[in-house]
């Protein structure tokens, strides 16, 4: 999965707020490691890698941890788990982010 494919997918399914986390991973991915899949599960940004060494695994773990605090929609920190249409999303308290997130799963 190229950086562009990953950014497009995450923007569509999660929102633009996590784009910089995707960029963060692609900027630091060790040579030889490629991203197979990127997705959100239980409010956390997840990456599946083709092959992973310990530095790649550490990078992914850091970004998963970071994602629990970053609003999927606006990218602000201080976000938390919010239930939207029976899905767990990671959102800040702004009502506009909730409204935008509620449109994602349809």
- Return residues touching Zn ion (CB under 5 A): 71, 73-74, 92, 94, 97
For Zn ion, the closer of residues 22 and 71 by Cβ is: 71
Q: What is the nearest approach in angstroms of Zn ion to the Cβ of residue 97?
A: 3
Judged by beta carbon, residue 28 or residue 76, the one nearer Zn ion is 76
Q: To the nearest whole angstrom, how small is the minimum distance from the Cβ of residue 69 to Zn ion?
A: 12
Question: Rounded to the nearest whole angstrom, what is the least distance from the CB of residue 77 to Zn ion in the complex?
Answer: 10
Distances from the Cα of 1 to the Cαs of 23, 36, 106, in angstroms?
A: 13, 6, 24
Concatenate the DSSP letters of all residues of 20-46 into one string: HHHHHHHHHPPTT--EEEEEEETTEEE
Kindly give, in sequence order, each residue whose CB lies less than 8 Å from that of residue 21, ignoring residues fewer than 6 positions away.
45, 63, 66, 67, 70
Residue 13 or 74 having the CB closest to Zn ion: 74
């Amino acid at each position: 999965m190229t950086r562009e494919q990953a950014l497009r997918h995450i923007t569509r399914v999660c929102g633009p707020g996590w784009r910089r986390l995707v960029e963060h991973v692609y900027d630091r991915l060790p040579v030889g490691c490629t991203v197979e899949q990127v997705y959100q599960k239980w409010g956390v940004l997840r990456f599946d890698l083709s092959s992973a060494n310990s530095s790649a695994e550490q990078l992914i773990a850091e970004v998963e941890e970071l994602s629990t605090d970053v609003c999927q929609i606006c990218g602000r920190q201080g976000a938390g788990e919010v239930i939207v249409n029976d899905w767990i999303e990671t959102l800040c308290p702004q009502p506009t982010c909730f409204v935008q997130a509620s449109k994602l799963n349809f």
